[in-house]
């Protein structure tokens, strides 16, 4: 008896809930995920062109920068002679396929000047080719670190 009296009540409760559920606004379709790496890769490729520009990081988060040859001081350039056959081979290769490995450069944290101690053959190959800029991996250095490189 009790059940037959309660059934209509239960039915109306169910239908009221069903109406509420139907009345809920439908969720808008989710926007497709955008791959964040894509624009960064494009930016990296752009920055690896021969134009000087703002710094970017390589895959190990090292600073990559295209610098003018004229703004890189080479304190050992006058004392160390490069192997000219190496320079020639590198110049040919760089002309053909571009610089595959940036040279390492120190940037003094006091005045921002750039100092190159390695990559001597690649640097000279760029000079030979008449290029004005070179791709560099830049590391900040104190005057003490710079002194150690000059010893």
Interacting residues toward ligand ADP by CB under 6 A:
86, 90, 93-94, 97, 99-101, 118-122
First to last CA, the chain: 104
With the C-alpha atoms ordered 69, 72, 76, 78, is the resulting torsion angle positive or negative?
positive
Retrieve residue 18's tokens. 């069903």
Angle separating helix axes 84-97 and 120-128, nearest 10 degrees: 70
Minimum separation from the CB atom of position 91 to ligand ADP (A): 9
Retrieve residue 116's tokens. 């190159």
Minimum separation from the CB atom of position 125 to ligand ADP (A): 7
CB closer to ligand ADP out of 28 and 130: 130
Query: Do residues 99 and 110 lie in contact, with contact meaning Cβ atoms separated by under 8 Å?
Result: no
Minimum separation from the CB atom of position 49 to ligand ADP (A): 15
CB closer to ligand ADP out of 67 and 120: 120
CB closer to ligand ADP out of 10 and 76: 76
Residue 55 to residue 60: CA distance in whole angstroms: 14
Minimum separation from the CB atom of position 89 to ligand ADP (A): 7
CB closer to ligand ADP out of 47 and 126: 126
């Amino acid at each position: 008896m009790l059940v037959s009296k309660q059934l209509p009540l239960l039915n109306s409760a169910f239908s009221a809930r069903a109406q509420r559920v139907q009345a809920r606004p439908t969720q808008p379709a989710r926007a497709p995920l955008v791959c964040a790496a894509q624009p960064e890769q494009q930016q990296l490729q752009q920055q690896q062109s021969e134009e000087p520009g703002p710094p970017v990081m390589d895959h190990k988060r090292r600073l990559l920068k295209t610098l003018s040859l004229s703004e890189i001081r080479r304190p050992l350039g006058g004392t160390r002679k490069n192997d000219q056959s190496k320079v020639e081979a590198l110049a040919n290769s760089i002309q053909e396929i571009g610089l595959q490995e940036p040279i390492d450069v120190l940037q003094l944290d006091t005045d921002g000047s750039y100092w190159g101690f390695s990559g001597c053959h690649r640097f000279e190959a760029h000079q030979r080719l008449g290029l004005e800029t070179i791709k560099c991996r830049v590391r900040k250095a104190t005057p003490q670190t710079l002194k150690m490189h000059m010893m």
